[in-house]
Amino acid sequence: MALNLDLVGKEWDGEGRRWTSADAILYALGVGAGSEDPLAELSFTTENSHDVTQQVLPTFAVMIGGAGSMPALGDFDISQVLHAEQSITLHGVLPVEGATVTRSRVAGFYDKGRHAIAATESTITDKDSGEVLAEVSSGIFIRGEGGFGGDRGASVTWQRPQTEPDHVVTYRTRPDQALLYRLSGDRNPLHSDPWLAGKAGFDRPILHGLCTFGFTGRALLHTVCGSDPASFGSMSARFASPVLPGEELSVAIWDEGETCRFQTTVAGRVVLDHGTFTKKAGSPGAAGRRP
């Protein structure tokens, strides 16, 4: 097995994704919208409620870039791959339906000793208008593929604040959360197939990291953006520990004005770390309702 190190710096264009109103709703349900109170988030979970205009959760940006044209990063086994980090930057409110094209690149392969991280970046553009909708970057942790003598990557500067968080939002995931979330497009069998989960060292299928990312994004949207997607700027985090469907997520948020730091835990165990969030310039910055 080996990494395709020659891909570093290479760029490619590709079809992104075409989505409908129903796809946006399915994603919202997949990250827990409406699960605690079906009436609380109707603008994200319905398209025909009286006096309610449908909106799209900002973290849906992770689903509209498409990955079909990405070259193979190497010939490693899929069971050795875990999501390491994710960031999104929104350039505007995501449309309820649409189609995209993408411009992507491999930013680097980072040598972590025994293991490796592959970093990719994409710019997602509306296919019809040509306007940039979002920028997305990901880090993929690949077990057993380190030791090739490469750069270790940037050092960590994020620190958990010493003060108590300004907000703590708790959401319980469903036992079938991974089965619901995968319908939005991430069909990695690690999250549904007990055999593959066991091969990867887990007792049972784990929740998608991007599902935890989406739950956390909802907490940020409702708590520091007043539930207004137009105020949602950027969000980045590292995946620190797997989540099992059915576990309760607790999102701690330190509101620092235009930016926030956040950390998501399960029973005190950190599952999403190094969280940084920025509000759009001109957003109210006041705490919103928690559905």
- The set of catalytic residues is 186, 191
CA 34 to chain CA centroid, nearest Å: 19
Q: State how beta strands 259-266 and 269-279 pair.
A: antiparallel
Residues 134 and 93: beta-carbon distance below 8 Å: no
Q: What is the dihedral sign for C-alpha 206, 140, 201, 264? A: negative
Phi-psi region of 45 (alpha: psi -120 to 50; beta: other; left: phi over 0): alpha
As a whole number of angstroms, the distance between CA 209 and CA 281 comes to: 28
Q: Please tell me what DSSP assigns to residue 117.
A: E
Distance CA 269, CA 192 (A): 23
- Going through the chain in order, the beta strands assigned E by DSSP cover 11-19, 81-90, 98-111, 116-126, 132-142, 167-172, 232-239, 248-255, 259-266, 269-279
**How big is the CA angle at 15 (ends 13 and 21), to the nearest 5 degrees?**
145
Residue 235 to residue 56: CA distance in whole angstroms? 16
What ranges make up the beta strands (E) of 20-158?
Answer: 81-90, 98-111, 116-126, 132-142
Question: What separation in angstroms does the CA of 248 have from each of 32, 211, 259, 269?
Answer: 11, 13, 25, 11
